[in-house]
Amino acid sequence: MAAPRAFLHLIPLKWNWGERGFRDLSGVTTPEASHRGRRTLLQFLSDHFYDVEFLREYFLRKQMQKLHLENGSYIRVQNKYGPDIAGAYFILKHGGAVKFRDMEWVRSDEWRHFIAGVSKFQAVPVEAVDASGCAINYDGLGNLLSLKELRSLSLQRCPHVDDWCLSRLYPLASSLQELSLAGCPRISERGLACLHHLQNLHRLDISDLPAVNFPGLTQILVEEMLPNCEVVGMDWAQGLRQGPDEQPQDAAGPIPVEPLAPGSRQPLCNS
Amino acid sequence: MLRRVLRTGLGRSLLIRELGASSGKGRNVSEMKKKIRSLLPGEPDNFMYDTRHLPPERSDVVIVGGGVIGLSVAFWLKKLEKRRDGIRVLVVERDQTYSRASTGLSVGGIRQQFSVPENVQLSLFSVDFLRNINEHLAVVDAPPVDLQFNPSGYLLLASEEGAAILESNVKMQRQEGAKICLMSPEQLRKKFPWINTEGVALASFGMENEGWFDPWSLLQGLRRKVQSMGVLFCQGEVTRFVTSSNRMRNSAGEEVNLRRIHEVHVKMDNSLEYQPVECAIVINAAGAWSGQVAELAGIGKGPPGTLQGTKLPVEPRKRFVYMWHCPQGPGLETPLLTDTNGVYFRREGLGNNYIGGRSPTEEEEPDPADLEVDHDFFQNKVWPHLAYRVPAFESLKVRSAWAGYYDYNTFDQNGVVGPHPLVVNMYFATGFSGHGLQHALGVGRAVAEMLLNGHFQTIDMSPFLFSRFYLEEKLLEQNII
């Protein structure tokens, strides 16, 4: 598992650049940052001239369309080779990695090789998918839902995976044992609540989710909800142990209400 | 435009350079700024007196009611218009704080578990919109809409008598494309061990696309988008419609009185000033008060039993929502549970808080004059059923409560969409009796299509037309919550 991940580390950097405008929209940046900090000439012009605003809107829409196109379903591949090949092909096209049962990981740079030897894979189900950093959204996730033997799914740092996507994972409930959602910027506790469908889950990684308001409490509640599952998310506490004298006291209280890690959002009183 | 700016800008700068010798540089810069600002478009002109607070004298479409339904109609009108800025739309809202509007006071649930196929389609359409809300409501340079959607699902319980209906409903819902599963009491106990399954014969649970969201963020998102699309807003109250009538004979020889609205009088807030707005189409999206608005247009004034005498049967009904705290209550997996008798509750946040309520029966209907909360209603009518269904709720503490209005359709508790048969340019989008919020986006599109193309396209809403009140065709929903 280590090898593909090391490779995939490079991917977000690559496409971050092209998709920045859209990510601004999709909630990755905070409103204050995009509002206060830089008031560009472009913004000034679009405030006063309708045409500039229209043009900017047009480009914004184009970017969104691109994401939708990339996340279309691979019906033709699915009809010809079955759902496993279609799912694998989808992930490889997006820059992820796939593991068929009893085989090595197939990485995205090997996808031509994969196409050439597709008959070799056809009889074998997909066992694990590593989609770290891929631009998968709700629609694209549909390609993975027909993988009946999928045991491990990693959606680490996927910028478009949100609460809606989590509510869509229930068809995998019978097989899915490992799920990693670490670093997804749009996943909140509201989406984590519907993971209760996945009763066979053994390991769930929910570390480093910036949209979760109360990470400590959320983790406890998720652990309660999935009693057979090891929930990993203690990165929050690790982040806090920078000061040497504040270290040992947090295990005593009945509910460890942890102060938020730097960079996370302020808790809302009425949430 | 650009040439004008350049020419005047250059001329001014020459002038200023001459003046600059005598006066300070700073003054020139500020003067220059002022001049540039007055030349840029989008700034108010200085006329004889300021009429900025008044609505425009003419508008193509006037939408009465700026709640989520009115805004959604405005949004789809602007979205589906053939030419950019082809239609001028004015939204008249009485209360910009929305203090009594049903939108903000709603529990915010969305479900597909209806018994009328059109309602399921509306819900599916709306949920699809909400999922991609930041694409539909994207405004350049504005922060994204944070809908706070909780995809936790609806769990409907049915008793022995209701089980057959529930089963056939679920069959229909699945055909329409909703992801609903049926559960036996045993499965229910396994999945949600905190439920007492006595008296439950069958349950249906929405796996996907069901849950609840923050109605206020939807409203604000829509408002921002609609404003950026060029819809005009005005705070005021519609007090009068100026109409003309046309006597005609139909093929059977009966006389028909066709009316048409020409002007809408909009009375400004806290003053006697009013503005007549000439318009082609009026959309009645006044929610709980749409019955009154319809009456203003002369709907229902006629001999009873005729189409003229058929009123819009929408009236405000008060519904209570209670919020309670229960430390031993059900956990994170709690869906929005609706009991066999209509008591419902859902989780609110993470701190073991729950909100819920119940629709009262016809006899115990509270007085809708104000929004006072009846706390005895919870004690006597809600809590015993709650504690029976979820034993953990034996000990709970009510934290707060509020009341809101349903735009209650007394005829069949379903929405009214489309034009009035006699007042030809009044369109309805009202009467949804508690599921207006979740259907708003689909309804808005339906009304806009009816208005622009003359027929429904995306969802066939013809069973929701006004004429059903006259024809006595009830479109009943099996479970109203």
B367, B318 contact by CB (below 8 A)? yes
Q: Check residue A262 and give its pLDDT.
A: 41
Q: Could you report the per-residue pLDDT of A172-228, keeping only the tens digit for each?
A: 999 999 999 999 999 999 999 999 999 999 999 998 899 998 888 899 899 999 999
In a domain, residue B456? The reply is: yes
Chosen domain end from B368, B387, B406? B406
Distance from chain centroid for Cα A149: 20
Q: Say if residue B289 is in the same domain as residue B416.
A: yes
Q: Is residue B179 part of a domain?
A: yes
In a domain, B135, yes or no: no
Per-residue pLDDT tens digits for B422-443 = 999 999 999 999 999 999 999 9
Residue with tokens 């001014």: B12
> Are B323 and B398 in the same domain?
yes
Note whether B60 and B88 are same-domain residues.
yes
Q: B236 and B376 share a domain? A: no
Alpha-carbon distance of A157 to A209, in angstroms, equals 9
- The residues, ordered by sequence, that sit 6+ positions from B171 with a Cβ below 8 Å of its Cβ are none
Q: From chain B, pick out residues whose CB is under 8 angstroms from the CB of A166.
A: 151
Nearest residue to A8 (alpha-carbon basis) of A114, A129, A103? A129
Rounded CA-CA distance B354/B361 in Å is 23
Provide the domain count of chain B.
Answer: 2
Say whether both B235 and B87 belong to one domain: yes
B140 chain-A contacts, CB cut-off 8 A: 46, 53, 56-57, 60
Return the CA Rg of chain B: 26
Residue B165 and residue B187 share a domain: yes
CATH class of domain segment(s) A74-232: alpha beta
Q: For residue B180, give the CATH number of its domain.
A: 3.30.9.10
Return the residue matching tokens 């049967």. Answer: B313
Residue B303 lies in a domain: yes
Contact between B196 and B337 (Cβ < 8 Å)? no
pLDDT of residue A10 exceeding 50:
no
**Cα-Cα end-to-end distance for chain B:** 56
Domain that holds residue B350: 149-205+319-406
- What type of residue is A140? G
Facing residue for B331 by CB, picked from A188, A189, A221: A221
Residues B307 and B421 in one domain: yes
**Residues 131-160 (B) with a CB less than 8 A from some CB of A:** 131, 134-135, 138, 140-141, 143-144, 146, 148-153
Q: Is residue B36 included in any domain, yes or no?
A: no
Residue A43 has pLDDT above 90, yes or no: no
pLDDT given for residue B24 in this prediction? 64
Say whether both B307 and B228 belong to one domain.
yes
The ipTM (two decimal places) reads: 0.83
Q: Are residues B388 and B417 in the same domain?
A: no
Residue B153 lies in a domain: yes
Do B302 and B359 belong together in one domain?
no
If asked whether residues B299 and B424 sit together in one domain, one would say: yes
B177 touches A at CB < 8 Å: no
Residues in chain B: 481
Instruction: Decide which of B327 and A54 is more confident.
Output: B327
Task: Select the more confidently predicted residue: B453 or A118.
Answer: B453
Whole-prediction pTM = 0.84
Q: Please, which pLDDT band fits residue A49 given cuts at 50, 70 and 90?
A: confident
Of B353, B387, B406, the residue at which a domain comes to its end is B406
Residue B478 lies inside a defined structural domain of this protein:
no
Q: What is the pLDDT of residue A257?
A: 40
For residue B37, tell me if it sits in a domain: no
What pLDDT shows up at residue B329? 92
Asked which of B406, B422, B443 is the last residue of a domain, the reply is: B406
Domain spans of chain A, in order of start: 31-70, 74-232
Residues of chain B with pLDDT under 70: 1-24, 41-49, 479-481
Pairing of strands B314-325, B353-357: antiparallel
Query: What integer best gives the mean pLDDT of chain A?
Result: 77
B302 and B423 part of one domain = yes
**Would an 8 Å CB–CB cutoff place A214 in contact with chain B?**
yes
Distance CA B386, CA B392 (A): 9
Q: Which two tokens stand for residue B345?
A: 């509750």
Mutate to test the interface with B, among A22, A25, A60, A222 (most CBs of B within 10 A): A25
B325 in contact with chain A, both atoms CB, cutoff 8 A? no
Task: Specify the CATH number for the domain of residue B248.
Answer: 3.50.50.60
Cα distance between residue A209 and residue A156, in whole Å: 10
